[in-house]
Amino acid sequence: MFTKILLRLFLCVWFCRALPSVAQTTIVNKPIERWGLYEVALAGPSSGNPFTDVQLTAEFSSGDKHITVTGFYDGNGTYKIRFMPSEIGKWSYRTVSNAKQLAGKSGSFVCITPSESNHGPVNVWNTYNFQYANGKPYYPFGTTAYAWTNQPELVQEQTLATLKKAPFNKIRMCVFPKTYSYVEEEPTMYAYEEKSRTQGPNGTIRHEWDFTRFNPAFFQHLEKRIADLARLNIEADLIIFHPYDKGRWGFDNMGMKNDLFYIKYLVARLSAYQNVWWSMANEFDYIKTKPRDAWDVYSKTVVDADPYHHLCSIHNGSDYYDNWKPYFTHVSIQNGSTVDDFGRAVLLRDAYRKPVIYDEVCYEGNLPQRWGHLSPEEMTEAFWQGIIAGTYVTHGETYRTPGDTIFWAEGGKLHGQSPSRIGFLRNLLEQEPGPLELADPWKDHRTSQADSSHYLIYFGKQMQSEWLFNLPKKGAPAAGTVFKAELIDTWNMTITPISDTFRLTDVKDYRVYDDKMQKIRLPMRPYLAIRLTQVKQ
C-alpha cells in the first residue's frame, strides 16, 4: 500500500521564475503555467541496468492534442517523466512501459495562464528572426561560458551573479567538461558512472566509464543551472558535443551507439525546460572522431526525440555544416570576419534563408591568440554590424587576470568594456517596433530599418564631419514624411536629439533627401549612429 502511494506520488513543479529550483517543489496537482514544467516521479525497478532495460513513455492529452514524451531513470529506483504544456486547460497522461511497475500510470493537471515573465520557448519568426511562444520578439544577445557548470560551485554562483547584471539573454554552454588552453579544471561530477580510474606514468588520470549508466546527479545539477538561467530570462544554448576533450575523458569519442544513447537521455531529461536550445556541437568539424555524415544522424535523433521542437543548430570550426538541412532551425556561425566590416553579415542570411547568429566572432580579451584579443570596441562593433544587417552576434570574454577565471570557458566575473555597450544596443533594438534589416542590402550597408518610420544608420569606424540626410528609396515612406533624428554614440552610450526635422523629397536616383538638403553635423569620433523616427503629423 505504501508502495502504491509512492507510485501515485508525482511532483508537480512550477518552472516559472518565481520558484527556486526544479528539484524542490512537491505540491501535488498544483496548476502548471503554460510552458511550465510538469514532472511525474514513479518508483520502478532498480536492479539490472535501469538505463538500458526499462522503456517508459507517457501520452499527454488535452482535447484533441496528444503528445508522447519519453521518461528517464533518475537513480535510486526513481523514474521521471517531464512535460511542458503548450496549451491552457486540463491535461491528463497515461504511461506505457515494459516494466510492470511503471506501465499504465495516469494522472492529470490543469495548465493555467503564465505569469508575466514567462513568455514560453523561443521560436523562429518571419524567416530571419525569433519570438517567444507568446508572440513577444526575442532578439538574441548571447554570451559564452562553455564549461561554467563544470566549475567549482562558488564560481558557478559567481557566474549567475554576473549574468544577473549583464545584458545577455542567451548563453552558449557545454554539457561535457572542457580541457583547453586556460581551462584545466577537473569537474567535480561526471555524466557517467566511473568503472575504474588509473594514473598514467606522467600523473595523468585515466578514467574508464560505463557508457550504459549515466550519473543522475550530474544531470540534476545541469538542470538546476538551466532553471537558474530561466529565472534570469536567459536561454541555454546547450552544446551536446565538443572537441575539447583530447583524450582526457573520452566524451568526444564514445562511438555512435553511445552517442545516440546519450542524446536520447539528454533530450528526455531536458526538453521540457522552456529555455533549452540544442546546439549539436561546438566546432563540429574539429571533432575528428565523428564523420561529417554522423551529424545528420545525431541531429535527426535530437529533433525526433524532442516533442517541443526547441531551436536546434550546429556550430562550425573552419567548415560550415549544411545549415539548410531541416533539423536546423537557425544558423550558428563561427567566423569573425562576417561582422568586422560592412556588407558581409547579410550575405549568409540571404544564402541560408534562416535566422543567422554569428555565435563566435572572436572574444574581447587579452590573450596572445588572435581569437582571444578583440578590443572592446571591436567586440561592440561586431554586434552593431550584425544587428543592422538583420543578424545576431554572440559575446565572449577572454581576459586572463591574476587569480580569476576566464569567463569564456569557466564563467566567473566579466571584466570587459563591451557588455555595457551591448546592453545599450539591446535597449535600442528593443525600442524599435521590430527587428532591423538593411533597407537596400546590395547597395547601402549602413542604413537599417525596422519599418518605413524607423531607421538606424551606423557609421562604424568611419569618421565624417557631417551626414547629408538621405535614405534608400527601397522601403522609404512617401515624399513629405517628416523625421526627427538623434545622434547616437555607440561607445559612449549617449543619445543626443538633433533639433532639426527632415521632410522627405521624391526619389532622386534611388535615394530620398530632406527637402532643404539638410545635413547633420557629426563629431569626429568613430562608432556613431543616427536614429530616425517618423514624426506623426
Footprint of a copy of itself on this chain (CB under 8 A)? 319-320, 322-324, 335-338, 341-344, 347-348, 350-353, 368, 370, 441-443, 445, 509-510
Task: Tell me how many degrees the CA angle 265-270-271 measures, rounded to the nearest 5.
Answer: 105
Our measurement of the distance from residue 171's CA atom to the centroid of its chain's CA atoms, rounded to an integer in Å, reads 5
Residue 284, CA distances (Å) to 68, 279, 389, 499 in order: 30, 10, 26, 52
Kindly tell me which of 356 and 406 has the beta carbon lying closer to a copy of itself: 356
Kindly tell me which of 177 and 472 has the beta carbon lying closer to a copy of itself: 472
Could you tell me the sign of the dihedral formed by the alpha carbons of 532, 445, 384, 354, in that order?
positive
CA distance 72 to 424: 43
CB of 347 to a copy of itself, least distance (A): 5
> 294-305 and 256-270 helices cross at what angle (nearest 10)?
30
Kindly tell me which of 272 and 346 has the beta carbon lying closer to a copy of itself: 346
First vs last Cα of the chain: how many Å apart? Answer: 75
Our measurement of the distance from residue 287's CA atom to the centroid of its chain's CA atoms, rounded to an integer in Å, reads 21
Burial of 99-135, coded b for 16+ CB within 10 Å and e otherwise, reads bebbeebebebebeebeeebbbbbbebeebbbbbbee
CB of 531 to a copy of itself, least distance (A): 24
Task: Tell me how many degrees the CA angle 105-106-111 measures, rounded to the nearest 5.
Answer: 145
CB of 181 to a copy of itself, least distance (A): 15
CB of 223 to a copy of itself, least distance (A): 35
Residue among 303, 291, 200, 222 nearest 253 (CA): 291
CB of 275 to a copy of itself, least distance (A): 29
Kindly tell me which of 266 and 339 has the beta carbon lying closer to a copy of itself: 339
Kindly tell me which of 368 and 402 has the beta carbon lying closer to a copy of itself: 368
Burial of 263-300, coded b for 16+ CB within 10 Å and e otherwise, reads bbbbbbbbbbbbbbbbbbbbbbbebeebeeebbeebbe
Kindly tell me which of 105 and 446 has the beta carbon lying closer to a copy of itself: 446
Query: Which residues on adjacent β-strands are paired with residue 173?
Result: 238
CB of 352 to a copy of itself, least distance (A): 7
Cell numbers of 115, please?
505569469
CB of 437 to a copy of itself, least distance (A): 13
Kindly tell me which of 95 and 299 has the beta carbon lying closer to a copy of itself: 299
CB of 108 to a copy of itself, least distance (A): 43
CB of 318 to a copy of itself, least distance (A): 8
Query: Which residues on adjacent β-strands are paired with residue 282?
Result: none
CA distance 151 to 206: 20
CB of 344 to a copy of itself, least distance (A): 6
Kindly tell me which of 254 and 331 has the beta carbon lying closer to a copy of itself: 331
Kindly tell me which of 158 and 447 has the beta carbon lying closer to a copy of itself: 447
Kindly tell me which of 356 and 387 has the beta carbon lying closer to a copy of itself: 356
Kindly tell me which of 376 and 441 has the beta carbon lying closer to a copy of itself: 441
Task: Tell me how many degrees the CA angle 289-290-296 measures, rounded to the nearest 5.
Answer: 175
CB of 324 to a copy of itself, least distance (A): 5
Task: Tell me how many degrees the CA angle 372-227-133 measures, rounded to the nearest 5.
Answer: 95
CA distance 479 to 476: 9
